[in-house]
Chains A and B, each alone.
Chain A
Amino acid sequence: MDFNEVKVNLRKFAFPLSTENALNQIQSIINGETTRKQHLNEDLAMDLISEFVFCETNEEGKPTKPMSRIRHLELLVMICDYFNKPKIKPDNDNCCGDTALNAIFMTLFPQFGAPPLRTNMLISLISLAISTYSNLILQSAGIQMQQLGCSSKYSSQLADGLVKRFFTFIDAKNPSLHLLPQNAPLFTANLMTSLSELYFNKKTMDISIKEPPRVVLEIIVRWINSDTRLCFTAHYTDLQRALPSGAIPMAATLPFLGLFRWCFFAPLCVKNNNDLVLYSELHCALIDSVMEGWKVYAAENPRVSCPYTLSVHSVVPQQLKDLIDEAIKSNDPMALHSVDVVLERLAQSINASIISDTIFGNKQDLVSQLESLPENKVLKLLIKRIQL
C-alpha cells in the first residue's frame, strides 16, 4: 500500500472515525510484516500519529492549533478504549502487557521526535488510565519507563506531571491508587524510582531541596507495605517477552537508593512533625523490604540473580555530609538529635543490605565512607561489624 494512499484514505473520515482508523492502520504497520523497509514504516506511523491521532500537523505537515481540552479528553478516552479492547493474544501476564500494544505505545509516545505537547498528553493519559484501571496502558508505560531509564527526562517529566496533575487532586485513600501495585507492578515500581529521583536531590540545579507532597509520601509507604517484593519488580521482570522483536531490554533501577535518601535527608530538612512520622514509616517499610522482599521472591524463583539495593559509593552523598556539617555547626540540640537519627538510619539501612547481601562495593571503601561521618554509637557498632 502506498503511503499517500493511506493518508488520503484516512482523510476521508472526520474526527472520531479518522483517529480510530488511524490507530488500526498504525497497528497493522508496526506489527505487520517487519521485513520490508522497517524505517519507512516507522516514518509513516509517526506521520499518521501526528496528523490523525494527535492532530498536531495538517495535511502539509505544518503545525496546527492545539486542540481543545474537550477534544483532548475525547481522544484520551478513545486511546484508552483502544487499549482496553480484547486483544489478539490472551492477556495472561499482568506485568508486561501485550507486546503489540507496547510497540504502539512506544510509537505514540516516543522519547524523541514528538512535540512537547505530547508529554502533556501522556501525563493525562496515564492519569486517566490509573483512574479507569486501564492496566494495559500502565503496563506499556512501565516498560517504556524502564527502557528509557527511570531517571531519564522522559520518566521524570512523567512522574512530575503525575504528581502535579494527578496526585495532588486525588485522595490517598482512592482505591485506584491502592490497586495500582496489583494492576501494574512494573509501572508502580518504576514510578517510585522516578519519583525518588525528583525529591531531596540537587541534581536539577534547583536552589532548594524539594520535599515530596504528602500524598506521594503516603501512597509510597502504602505501596511498599502492601507488597514487600514490589520494589524488586523491575529486577525480576523479563522484558524481552514484552518488547518488539529486536529490542534490547535495559537493566533495572530499584527505588531503594532514592527512597533511602529521602529518609536520610528528611530529619534534617523536613520541619513538619506529621511528615517526619511518615518518613520513619517509610524507613521501616524499606528495611523490611530489603530484608524480606528478595528472600520471599528468591525462595520462589531460585534461578534469578541477586539485585543490589545499596551502593557503597552513593550511600552517603556529599550533600548529606554538608547538611550534617551544617547542623553540627549550628550546635542546636534539635539539629544534633536529627543528625543522630540520620546516622542511625544510615547504619540500619547499610546493615540491612549487608544482611540481605544486596550491597554493592568494597568493604574498605564503605568503612572509610562511614568513618568520615560524625561519631555515633550505632554507627560504631556497624563499622566494627563490617571490619570483623
Chain B
Amino acid sequence: MEMKKHQEDQFAKLTAFLNETKQPFINVQTDQITRAMELLKVLPAAQDAVLEYYGKFFDYAISTYLKQLKVQPSWVESSNTSSRHEPPIIPPEVIENVTNIRDVLLRLVEEDHLVWAPVVLHWSYKLLGKVSKHYNMHEFARMPLGDMLRFWSQCSVAYILVDINNKTIAKMVKSEGERSVDSMIETMLGYKSSSFEWVLAQIGDSFPSLVIMDMLLCGIKEMCATNKFKHTEKLNSFIRILDHLSITYFANIKEVVLQLFKLSLSEEHQKMTAENVTIVPFLLHMAMCSSTLLKSMLCENLIQITPEVLNKLLPLYPQWKDFFDDQCNLLDIMVQVLLNADRGIKHVFSLIFQLIDCEDPKFKILKTGAQSLFELFLAELEYSLRTNHTTPPIVKALVTNLHTIKPYLLSTNVNVAQPAARLLSCIAIRDEECLLPYIATMLVECENGTQLETLVEILSFGVNMANFDGGLVYALVKPDISLANVWNNINTLLSLESDPPEGISLHGVSMAVVSHLDKICRSMIDCCHSGDMYSAHLLSSILSKVAAKLCMKEMSVPKVLYCVKAAVLYFFTCLFKEQDEMFKLKACLRMNKFVNTVSYRSSIARTAAMKYILDGVLKEPFSLLFVMPANRRNDYIIQPLEKTSLMGIFLQQKFNSMFGEEISVKFDKDELHPKHKTPVFDAKSVQFNELRLVSFLRSCYSSDECYSFEPTLDTVVSLALLVVQFVSPDVMYNGLPWPDEDFTKVTIERDVHIYHTITTKPILWTILGILAGHRPALCYCSVLLRAVCACLINHWGAVNHTKGKSKDNPQLLDETVKLLNTMSLGQLLPKPLDVLGVIVQELTPQQILIVLRDCVWTYTRDHIPAPALFLRNNIGGMWRDTMAVSVPKPYSDSLRLTMIENISQFGDLYARLFTNNKEQSTET
C-alpha cells in the first residue's frame, strides 16, 4: 500500500514538473526551481529533462539580455564609452533563479563529484555552446575574441554559467587531479563554431596550463590523424585563445610548451606514441602561425635543450618527414620561424653555435644540420633584407642581442666564427651602425690568424669597409686597453690591403688609419720612451705602409709636425736601443722613406724634421750615438742632461707636455742617467750611426721620393741656417762677414761655446761636410766656421808659446784639419788655399797659427764668402769660379812661404800650386 502511495507521489511530482515546463519562464518561481532539483536527485530518469529545463531557463535569461541589446544597439557600438549607458538589466528574479540553479548544481557536485561533476560539466558546456551559437546567430557575426569576452562578461547570466563550469572543473581538479578533466576539455575543444572561443578563453583564464596543454594536444592529435599539418579554422581559433591567454599566462604557455617538448624525449622510441612523435613538427608548424607560441618556444627554456637532448630526438626524424613536404620542409620552417623570432633568438643562436662548435663525433649529424640551417637562414635573411623594405622582426631582436654573438666572432674555430661574421654582416645591411663596436672589439681582441680572418671576412662583405673608420675610432678610444694588439692587427690589415688575396678587398684601411695618424704617433712616442721596440717597429711599419696615402689627405700642421717628431724620435731610439743590426737598418730605411714622403710635400715638415734631427744630434742622450770611443771625453758624463725638444715640451699637444716630461724623467733615470749607465758605442756602430743619420738627413731635404737627385738649394740652406741656430747661442753675430780677428774678443764666449759644441759633437763636422757639398750652403754657417777658426787660432797661439809640436796636440790638429777641409770643400777657401788641410798636418804650431791667421782668417775677412759668389755651372750645381778669380798674393804668400820652409815635404804640391800658377801668370 505504501508502495502504491509512493508511486502516486512520484507521478504527481513528475506531472507537476511537466506542467511547469509548459509555463512561460517569466512566471517561474524559486520553489519551482528547487522542486525540479528534488527530481534531479530522486529520479535519474528525469535528470535529462530537468537539466534541459534549467538550460532553457538560462537560455531565456540570456535572451532577455540580448533582446534588450537589440533595443539599444547604440550601447554595443559605443561599448568603449559605455559609462554613459547602463548595461541592459536582467530582471532580478531571473537572476535569483539562475543563481539558485547554480547553487543547486554546485551543491550536487560538492556532494558527490565523481557522479555529478561530469554531468554538470557536460551540461554547462553544451549550454554554453548553445548560448554562444544563439548569440552568434544574432547580429554580430564574427567578432575579435577580446570584444567577445568583453561582451559576455557584461552578461551576468552567462557569467554565472561560466562560473558553474569553472567551479565544477575546479572541484574535479582538486579532488581527482588535473588529468581527470582532460577528456572533458577535449570534448569542449571539439567545438565547431568560433563563437565558442570565448568560453574556452574563460576556462583558460581559470586553468591556463590545462587548457593550453589540451589545446595543443588536440592539435597534435588532429595532425597525427591526417598525417599532415593543416591550418584549419580550429587552429586559428586556438591561436586566438592562446594570444588571449598569453597576456596573463605567458609563463604557463612556456611551461606547457616545454612539457610537451619533453614528452617527445622518451628514451625508448619504440614505445612512443604517434602523438609524441608529432609534437615537434606540430610545434614548429604552429610557431609559424602564432607569434605567441613562437615566443614561448624561443625563450629561456631553450637553455634546457642541449646537444644531448637534440641527439635524442634524432631517431625521430624519419618519422617527422611525413609531416613535411617539399614545399615546406623542416629546415624551411625553422628558417621561417627564426626570421619571425623575437627576443628569444639569443638562446637559439647560442644553441646553434654550440652545435657548430661541437667536435664530438656523436653530434656530427646535428652539427651539419645546424650548419645547413644557419646557411639557409643567413641566405634567407640576406635576401629579405636586400629586397624587402620591411625588416623581418628578427633583425630588431638581433641588433639588441648582438653582444651575445661576440664570443663566437672571436672564436678560433673557423666554422663558428664564419657564420657569426656572416650574421653580423647581414644585419649590417640594414643597420650599419651596429658594426662599429664589433669591428672595434675585434681590432682590440683579435689575437691570431683565424680571428683576424673573421674580421677580414666582415670587412670585405658588402660596403662594410665604410665602417672601418668608425670602428677604428671606437677601438682607439676604448679605455684601459693596450693598443699594441690593435696596431698589430692594423698592420696585418694594411699588408692585406696592399696585397689582397683572392676575393677580398680591404680598400680603405689605410685611409682610415691615416686619419688616426696622431694616435699612432703618440703611441710610437710612448713606445720609444718606454723602450718597447717591438711596438715601435710595428707602428713604424704601419706608418711606412700608410705613407703613400699621406699625400692624399690634407693634414693639419700640428699633425704633420707630430708625426715627424715621432719618426725622428723613433729613428734615434732605434739607433740607440735596437740590438739587432738588421732591424736597425730596416727601421732607418723605413723612416727615411717616411720622412721623405712627408717632407717632400711640406716644407714645414721638412724644417721640423731637420730641426728635430739636429736637436737630437746635439743633445744628450742621442748625441752619444755619434761620438767615437776615442773621442769620448769625461765631460759627457758630468755634463748635466739637456732637455731636447724631442723629449720635452711640445707646443701643440697639451697632453703631451705633461706626458713628455714624465717620460723624459723616467727615461733619464732608468735608462740613461750617466750615473746608472753610460751607453757605449763602439767605432763600428758610430760609423754606422753616422751613415744612417746622413741618409736620414738626406731624405729630409731630398725633393723626390728616391732622394737620388740633388736637393734644392733652399732645403740645404735651411739646414745650414738651422745648424747655425742650434749651435750658435747668439743671434747677433751670425752673419756672413768675417770681421777683424781682434773683433773676436767681443764674441769670445760665444765662440768658445760654438767651438766646444762642435768638438764634442763631431757629427756636426759631418753635417757641415754635407752642407759644404751643397755649395754655397756652407756660407750660411760662416759664423760657426769663424768661431772654430778663432778658437783654433787662439789655441795654436797658446801651443806656440810652449814650443810644443803640433803632433802633440792631436785633438787640436784634427779640428784644424776638419775645419780646413770643410772650408775647402765648400769653396770658402779657393785654390791654392784649399790644400791647407793637407799641409797643416806637417806644420809646426807656429806655422799653423800663421797660416790660419793669414790665409784663412784674413782671406775670408777680405773676401766675404757670400752665396752670390757662386754661379750655376753647366751641370746644374753651384760653383765658385776660382780659376778666374785667384787668391791674391798677400793671402797665399804665407802659405807659399811655409811650404817653401818645408819644401822637402811639399815640393810636389808646391810645384803644382805655384809653379803652374806662375806659368799661367807669365803667359797672361
Contact = CB atoms under 8 A, between A and B. Distances in A.
A18 interface: no
Contacts of A68: 52
A146 B3 CA distance: 26
B10 interface: yes
A133 B3 contact: yes
Interface string B332-373: 000000000000000000000000000000000000000000
A68 B22 CA distance: 13
Interface in A37-84: 68-70, 72-74, 76-77, 80-81, 84
A80 B11 CA distance: 9
Contact of B7 (A133, A166, A169): A133
Q: Which 5 A-B pairs have the closest CB atoms?
A: A128-B45, A73-B49, A69-B52, A69-B48, A127-B45
A132 B10 contact: yes
Interface in A68-119: 68-70, 72-74, 76-77, 80-81, 84
20 contacts: A68-B52, A69-B48, A70-B21, A70-B53, A72-B48, A74-B18, A77-B11, A81-B11, A84-B7, A127-B45, A128-B43, A128-B46, A131-B10, A131-B43, A132-B7, A132-B11, A133-B7, A165-B47, A169-B44, A175-B6
Interface residues of A, number: 27
A170 interface: yes
Contacts of B21: 70
A150 to B, nearest CB: 22
Contacts of B53: 70
Contacts of A124: 45, 48
B14 interface: yes
Residue of A133, A166, A179 with most chain B CB atoms under a 10 A cut-off:
A133
Nearest to A174: B42
Contacts, number: 61
B51 interface: yes
Given A69-B49, A69-B51, A72-B49, A166 B14 contact: no
A169 B52 CA distance: 17
Interface in B555-575: none
A169 B115 contact: yes
Interface string A130-169: 0111100000000000000000000000000000011011
A131 B42 contact: yes
Nearest to A164: B44
A77 B15 CA distance: 8
A161 B11 CA distance: 23
Given A70-B49, A132-B7, 20 more contacts: A70-B18, A70-B21, A73-B45, A73-B48, A73-B49, A77-B14, A80-B11, A124-B48, A127-B44, A128-B43, A128-B45, A131-B42, A132-B10, A133-B4, A165-B44, A166-B45, A169-B47, A170-B44, A175-B6, A179-B3
Contacts of B14: 73, 77
Interface residues of B, number: 22
A81 B14 CA distance: 12
Contacts of A73: 14, 18, 45-46, 48-49
Contacts of A183: 3
Contacts of B42: 131
Interface string B14-25: 110010010000
A131 B45 contact: yes
A76 B44 contact: no
A77 B11 CA distance: 8
A354 to B, nearest CB: 41
Interface in B18-44: 18, 21, 42-44
Contacts of A125: 45
A133 B6 contact: yes
Given A77-B15, A131-B45, A70 B10 contact: no
Residue of A69, A125, A168, A183 with most chain B CB atoms under a 10 A cut-off:
A69
Contact of B18 (A77, A131, A134, A170): A77
A134 B11 CA distance: 11
Contacts of A77: 11, 14-15, 18
Contacts of A134: 7
Interface in B28-85: 42-49, 51-53
Contacts of A81: 11
Nearest to A126: B45
Contacts of B46: 73, 128
A213 to B, nearest CB: 10
B607 to A, nearest CB: 104
Given A74-B18, A133-B6, A168 B115 contact: yes
A175 B10 CA distance: 13
A84 B14 CA distance: 15
A70 B52 contact: yes
Nearest to B115: A168
Residue of B3, B11, B21, B44 with most chain A CB atoms under a 10 A cut-off:
B44
B43 to A, nearest CB: 5
Contacts of B4: 133
A131 B3 contact: no
Nearest to A77: B14
Residue of A73, A81, A175 with most chain B CB atoms under a 10 A cut-off:
A73
Interface in A183-197: 183
Nearest to A162: B44
B474 to A, nearest CB: 69
Given A70-B21, A77-B15, A77-B18, A131 B49 contact: no
Interface in B164-219: none
Contacts of A80: 11
Residue of B7, B15, B42, B45 with most chain A CB atoms under a 10 A cut-off:
B45
A128 B10 CA distance: 10
A166 B52 contact: no
A254 B110 CA distance: 40
Nearest to A167: B44
B502 to A, nearest CB: 69
A68 B48 CA distance: 9
A24 to B, nearest CB: 20
A133 B43 CA distance: 12
Contacts of A169: 44, 47, 115
Residue of A68, A179, A183 with most chain B CB atoms under a 10 A cut-off:
A68
A68 B3 CA distance: 30
A342 to B, nearest CB: 29
Interface string A15-36: 0000000000000000000000
B644 to A, nearest CB: 101
Contacts of B7: 84, 132-134
A134 B6 CA distance: 11
Contacts of B6: 133, 175
A165 B3 CA distance: 23
A84 B7 CA distance: 10
A212 B53 CA distance: 32
B200 to A, nearest CB: 26
A168 B119 CA distance: 11
A70 B18 CA distance: 7
A80 B7 CA distance: 11
Contacts of B18: 70, 73-74, 77
A73 B15 CA distance: 10
Nearest to A84: B7
A39 B49 CA distance: 36
Nearest to B52: A69
Interface in B247-295: none
Contacts of B45: 73, 76, 124-125, 127-128, 131, 165-166
Nearest to A169: B44
A132 B39 CA distance: 12
A219 B51 CA distance: 27
A132 B46 CA distance: 12
A67 to B, nearest CB: 11
Contacts of B10: 131-132
A168 B44 CA distance: 9
A84 B45 CA distance: 17
A166 to B, nearest CB: 5
A91 to B, nearest CB: 13
